[in-house]
């Protein structure tokens, strides 16, 4: 089954303790991205990757890191989490149709992170 | 990306057609209209997209006006499981140009559709 898998689904952590949220897709998609969703602010893009070893900042990258060593994986790293990073996080992937364009995005089920 | 305007909420009776409007008066010629939905904090789900012709798939139909300034998503026979937030997004198909990520999806507040028995 084609899917984007995030882990963990729920996480409560303390301020300053490094954590990683994993994201894996089995559709051989080139484009992957991370969003966070907060009440009243909607979904905002954190980082994106157009292919292996190619990453770039989205709208709200501060406090986050990503890597894209393999095509299927795009982990989100919080080196020193703070309470303002408490949010619902989504990973998404999209295929490149071969002309630098893409159509639909597939989203993971989300990771609810609480930083205390 | 062009800005979109959607009603905050709508109701629909189960089994009836749900017609969700979207205004995008500043849409440019190379921008497509996309619809996604999000069911109660799950990951957003792609529904349909189109440029200027009406489109239909197994989930919904998309009607785009001739001037492309507005569109309507139609769920032909709404069920309780269609209760969700529906997002209308306009964007180019291009992944990037000049360092800008067109791959980014800009979600507004969407329309809360409630399907009732």
CB contact under 8 A, B44 and A96: no
Each of the 116 residues of chain A gets a pLDDT tens digit; together they read 889 999 999 999 999 999 999 999 999 998 899 999 999 888 999 999 888 998 989 889 999 999 999 999 999 999 999 999 999 999 999 887 555 556 688 999 999 999 99
Half-sphere exposure of A85 (CA within 13 A, CB side): 29
Interface mutation vs chain A, best among B43, B50, B100, most A CBs within 10 Å: B43
CA distance B73 to chain A (A): 16
Residue with tokens 């009440």: A39
Inform me whether the C-beta atom of residue B105 falls under 8 Å from chain A C-beta atoms. Answer: yes
- Summarised one tens digit per residue, pLDDT across range B28-51 is 888 889 999 999 889 999 999 998
Contact residues on chain B for A31, CB-CB shorter than 8 A: 95, 103
CA dist list (Å): A2 to A93, A94, B10, B57, B74? 11, 12, 32, 19, 26
CA-nearest residue to A88 within chain B is B41
Q: Do A42 and B109 touch (CB under 8 A)?
A: yes
d(CA B17, CA B80): 12
- The nearest CA of chain A is from the CA of B45 a distance in Å of 7
**Could you report the per-residue pLDDT of B60-109, keeping only the tens digit for each?**
999 999 999 999 999 999 999 999 999 999 887 655 555 555 567 888 88
The pLDDT of residue B32:
87
What's CA A5's distance to the chain center, in Å? 11
Residue A4 near residue A24, CB atoms below 8 Å? yes
Rounded to an integer, the average pLDDT of B4-20 is 96
pLDDT of amino acid B2: 62
Taking residue A10's Cβ as centre, other Cβ atoms within 10 Å add up to: 9
Q: Is the pLDDT of residue B1 over 70?
A: no
- Quick: pLDDT tens for A29-52: 988 999 999 998 889 999 998 889
């Amino acid at each position: 089954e084609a899917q984007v898998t995030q882990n963990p689904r729920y996480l409560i952590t303390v301020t300053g303790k490094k954590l990683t949220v994993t994201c894996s897709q089995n559709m051989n998609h080139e484009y992957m991205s991370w969003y966070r969703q907060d009440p009243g602010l909607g979904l905002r893009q954190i980082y994106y990757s157009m292919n292996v070893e190619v990453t770039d900042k989205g709208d709200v990258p501060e406090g986050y890191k990503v890597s894209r060593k393999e095509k299927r994986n795009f982990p989100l790293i919080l080196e020193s989490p703070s309470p303002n990073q408490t949010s619902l996080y989504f990973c998404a992937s999209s295929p490149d149709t071969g002309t630098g364009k893409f159509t639909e995005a597939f989203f993971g089920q989300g990771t609810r992170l609480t930083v205390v | 990306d062009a800005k979109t305007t959607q009603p905050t909420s709508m109701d629909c009776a189960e089994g009836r057609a749900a017609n969700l409007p979207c205004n995008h008066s500043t849409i440019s010629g190379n921008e497509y209209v996309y619809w996604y939905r999000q069911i109660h904090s799950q990951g957003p789900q792609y529904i349909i997209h189109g440029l200027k012709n009406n489109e239909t798939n197994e989930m919904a139909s998309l009607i785009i006006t001739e001037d492309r300034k507005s569109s309507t998503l139609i769920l032909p026979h709404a069920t309780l499981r269609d209760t969700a937030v529906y997002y209308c997004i306009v964007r180019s198909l291009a992944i990037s140009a000049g360092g800008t990520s067109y791959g980014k999806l800009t979600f507004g507040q969407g329309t809360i559709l409630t399907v009732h028995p």
